Every structure is written in C-alpha cells, then in structure tokens.
Structure 1
C-alpha cells in the first residue's frame, strides 16, 4: 500500500518532534515515522544515572518548556522520556511507530520512502534519525584480540553489570577502562568510580567547566558563533568530507560539565584521567612506554556517526559518508533536509534546546518549496 503526505519526517526523537512542531504551526501535511516502539527516542536507551548537563528550562523543545524534575537540578533520562512523550501528545504530532525506514528514493516529482510497513510518497523528507544508532569504535590495534568485555556508550547501563568481573579488587568488582574525555566518558567513569577498579583514559587532559557553569554556556557559545560557523562552513564541510574531525561549534569547547556525580567523584580523587593506551592485547592494555595493565572490560565512550543508511539510495554522500548541506537542506537534493546530526546541520542541533531553530528554518524552507510547486 502506498500512502501520501507532503512531508515525511524520519525519526521520532527530539529532532523529529521539533520538526513536527514547526511543520504543524505552518499548517503542512506531514507524518513522522519512528522505528522505536515508544516515544522518547534514544533517551530510552541510555545508562541509568545519565543526567542532562543543563537545567530543565535550558533543555526544552520549541513551544513548551521542560518542567523541572523534583529534587534534581539536572533532569535525568527518565524525566526527558516523560517530557518527550507528553510533548508528542500535547501537540498532537502524527507519529507512526514502530516503522523502520528502509530507504528514500527519487520517484519523479516525489520522494519515495520505503518502510517495513509500506510505502510513502512525499514532496519533501526530513531526516532526523540522529547518531545514537551508529556508535563509533576507534581502530585501536589489538581490539579484536582482547578477551575481556568490550562495549560502547550505547551498551552501558549501570555498575551492576560489572559485578564478578575478573578477580575483584578490595572494595570493587573488576578492572574497567573507560575511554573518552567528553561528558559521556566523564559521567560513566564517575558512575563506575565507586564500585570498580577504574582507569579513565583520554586523548588529552580533560577540561572541566567551572562548577558554577553548566551546559547553558555551551549552548550560548554555539549560538554566539552562528555567524562564524556560517562563514567557515565550506572549510568545515571539506574537513568532514576528508574524514577529519569537525572541531567547530560546541565540540570545539571540549569542556566537561561537572554535574553533581562527576563533581563528587572528581573531588574524592576518583576521577583522574590517564593518557590513552596505544593498543590492546589478550588480557589488557599496552601503554606508550610498553608497560601493560590488566583489564576485565573496556567501555568506549568514543562518540557516534550520523545514522544515514536510509538515504543511501539518493547517492548524496561524499567521501567518508558526509552529505553536503546548506543549512539543513541537502545541496544535491533540495527536497531533503537533515536535522539534529550536529553543528553541520545547525549550531547545537543535536541538543534539546538547540534543535528548535534549525527545525524552524527547515520547516519554513519546506513551506516555500511546496508553495512553489516543488
């Protein structure tokens, strides 16, 4: 069966809901297709102790401020799931789930969206699948030879999962290496610091924001740099196409927000970072000086890549899989917008509060396209 909509939004997490809010305000005909069985996007799949690094008021989607969470200055993931669930209901957003999009194809004057439950034909598509579903693992020598447990951020839930690893050290459960110097690495290391023999390793010494500063500073910095980001867009896209790291926007600040659990572990001397090891062997890690350290588990808090496999039939990717964009619009397919993948689709667009503006811009651009007969 083939169904029709002016706009199909792929993904029902925070970016997809922000797009739906603005499309609805403009009176456009749209549907949101979400592969998840329930509302909440990737927030349903995070570790138990995860907290936002901004207060609720600074973690809101357009239209409705996130209510504060009782007893928490920084809302946890469960609170975010509840907020997104209510946001969807509050604005009557047309989310179809679970629907997995298999591919987006050109089909004359329309884009054909093939799913596991039928076909949609649309005049425009917003891709808002995010990055959580495509974790990045670095090519560290010896990773395949390591006999211990390995997992990425997406697979971590709580310290309980590491009970009984190896020979428990005094007062702990096992030797765990957490790799990564961003907020995820710091939060997971802090979560494990009290119950495991933890080693936190980073490429460079971690930089903590001052304790009285939170994620609002990151968003404000990204917003202030909006014009600079626009001026530097060509150079940054070239860097992405060549596989180099995108060092602009929020990522360039490189700071860790000292949310209470991170601050407590740091101040107790439990969160001291060590230099990154150079390789793994069967039983542990090998440092740059040749010394070895045993490890029962390695947790890779090493980031993500955009989940864009559904767009492969359009043939838009350059080298290393990057799709060139102007704002949120794909350069070589003006009927396609990409939303929420990072600074290259709008400053801070991968955050709750940051996705609102590029979602608004994408909806307005689509409205013009449809009005002009696109």
Structure 2
C-alpha cells in the first residue's frame, strides 16, 4: 500500500550551517514548521543524531582560535569561548541553542533516500523520500554539504599497503601517530594544519599534485568572497565545484609559518604508486611510510538527487546563485561556493528570498 507524502512548501535537507541559515530565514519570512497549520510551512531533515552539522565530526585539535569567527549563524552570535577549546566541543551546543532559539523543529535522524519529481508538471511538487516517510514539496533546499563524502583518489597499489591509511574525515589526534613516519597527501588547509600538528610527534613527508602558490597576507572575509565568486563560475557552467584554494592560491596562515619554522614545509611531488612498505616516487625511490593520511578533500553529498537527472557530462550540476538551472524547484546551498561557512549563510538567505518572491508572484497572478 502506497502512503501519500506529507505536503509542505519547503523541505530543507541538512541542518548544518547552510540548512540552519535557510530555516532561520524561512522563519523570518513567516513560514512555520510542518504540522502547525500555517499558510506556508517547512521541515528540516537531518541525518545526524545530534545538532552541530559537520563541526561535531571535526578532529579534536581543531580549536576555536583557528576557525576565525566566520561560522556564526545569522541572527545569533556565538557565545565567547576560549581559543583553546576544541571546535567540536564548543560549536554543537551553539547549533543546538540556535535550533531551540528560533524553534526550527529539526527532525533527526532522518536519512533522505531520493528526491524525484511527482509528475511531469514543471510547477508540480518534488517528492522527498526518507527512511521516516515522504514529503511532497514545492521547493527543496538541499544543504547536505560534503563531510559525508570524503574523496580518496585512486593510486595504483593502494590496496597493497601494509600500514594504516585514513582520511582526514577519520582523523582524531596526532598522538596515534607518535614515533611513526606519516605521508600526508594534499595541499589544502586541512593538510597543512595537520602537517604542522603531526610533525610534533612523528616524522612527516608531505606530497601534493601541484606545488603551492603561496599568497602572503591574511585569509579575510573579502578574500573568501572573491574565492567563492571563482567557484560560482565553475558550477554555473556545470563543472565539478573544485576547491576554494584552487581559486585563491595558498594563504600563508599561522600553521603554515609554524610548519616552515619546524622545517617540515617541504613539498614533494605526488607518488606514482603505493607499495607494501611505502610510496614509490616519480624518480623511482621508495619512501617508507607507516601511515598515509589522505587530506584530499570531499565531494558533494548529492547521490539522493540522482533521480532528477541533473548531472552534466562533466560531472557537475548547473547551478546559478545557489539554484539548479535545470530544476528551478531545487536549491543547492551546500554545493560549490556555499561549501564555505560564509557562502552557506548567504546562500540560505538568497534561496528563501527567491522562494518568497515567487510565491508572492503566484498569488498576484
């Protein structure tokens, strides 16, 4: 027996930075949580068991002094916290307080299986199927981010390695590498932060596919916005989003300076294969390794959108200003430029503005 999906104006998928920003702006515009009987309704679905988005999964050593304040959600500043407190301890309670303060009624844990069209009517509803029922929405705001999709590039022989391999998504503490030789793969912020950290207890060997393009100066809000605009051009064309660093170059941040001072900021080219005891370099030498840490980033968590058929031949989804070009009822605000926290806040606001404009236009028409 088929069950009729619950009707709602907006389904928000994900309660991280982007999803909570969108829910906040829906509340401000008069939308109410599903079941309250208001004229316009929304529901927020989150796969995690607790509030906190990706912050609750970050490694222990990522401290509040490192995250630079750009994580603040709209309308509610983060309470003061000691710079030495782990972000994963300080920020989830803030997210929980935010949900309660604005009465967002996040439903969790709810895993979204698929988003599909109810019928061929381009003004019809989208069906959001989950492990806890289905929803029929006029709009879907997808805010699933990337944290659940760590990217492991394939290198020949990776399966033969006798040591330990892990991704930054599984990193806990440098202490587990004490006295070992650790190959760190990747050129992004996480790779450099962990290079600095792990070098205090282990021998490190840093490799990247491209050499760093160091930019002196601070990693400011202005520089972040400039970088997001570069990523926006890629997703508008249907290309995979790419990383923000690929647009900005590498900022000479404090952790980079520390790694330099320790003598470990020595970049080596990417190895050609993995062997039982280490990695084979392009010049034929074997570099011994006890651990390979893949700090190689993440990919968008959007497999549930596959029934909509939006992927381009290049592997991306065409998105402009946080909205799918080929399915206007869908907003992607944890995708491309809105993967960053500042981009997420802006995208959540803009998605709701667009929805409100269209609903107002429909009433006038």
Change (3 A) 1:278 1:250: closer
Alignment-derived partner of residue 94 in structure 2: 83
SS state of the match for residue 144, structure 1?
A: helix
**Equivalences, count:** 346
| Matching residue within 81, 88, 91 for 1:69 | 81
1:197 correspondence with 2:186: no
Quick one: distance in 2 between partners of 1:98 and 1:227?
33
| Matching residue within 288, 294, 306 for 1:312 | 306
Structure 1 unaligned segments of length 5 or more: list them. 163-171, 344-348
Q: CA RMSD in A?
A: 2.5
Change (3 A) 1:257 1:103: farther
CA-to-aligned-CA distance 1:207-263 (integer Å, 9 cap, x gap): 5554xx543x2x312435777777xx3x6644716xxx747x65411224524x554
Output aligned runs, 1:242-257, within 5 Å: 246=242, 251-256=246-251
Quick one: distance in 1 between partners of 2:203 and 2:156?
23
CA-to-aligned-CA distance 1:60-86 (integer Å, 9 cap, x gap): 2221222332244x9733222232222
TM-score by length of structure 2 reads: 0.86
| Matching residue within 4, 27, 32 for 2:30 | 27
Q: Bigger CA drift: 312-321 or 45-54?
A: 45-54
CA-to-aligned-CA distance 1:8-56 (integer Å, 9 cap, x gap): 0001111100111111111122111000000011111111112464432
| Matching residue within 48, 52, 55 for 2:68 | 55
Quick one: distance in 1 between partners of 2:211 and 2:169?
24
Alignment-derived partner of residue 338 in structure 1: 332
Change (3 A) 1:317 1:209: same
- Checking the alignment, whether the CA contact within 8 Å between 1:30 and 1:94 is kept in structure 2 is no
TM-score by length of structure 1 reads: 0.84
Per the TM alignment, residue 335 of structure 1 is displaced from its structure 2 partner at its CA by: 0.8
Output aligned runs, 1:289-328, within 5 Å: 289-328=283-322
| Matching residue within 175, 188, 191 for 1:182 | 188
Structure 2 unaligned segments of length 5 or more: list them. 32-40
1:273 correspondence with 2:277: no
Alignment-derived partner of residue 137 in structure 2: 122
Alignment-derived partner of residue 339 in structure 2: 350
Alignment-derived partner of residue 258 in structure 1: 253
1:359 correspondence with 2:348: yes
Output aligned runs, 1:134-173, within 5 Å: 134-162=149-177, 172-173=178-179
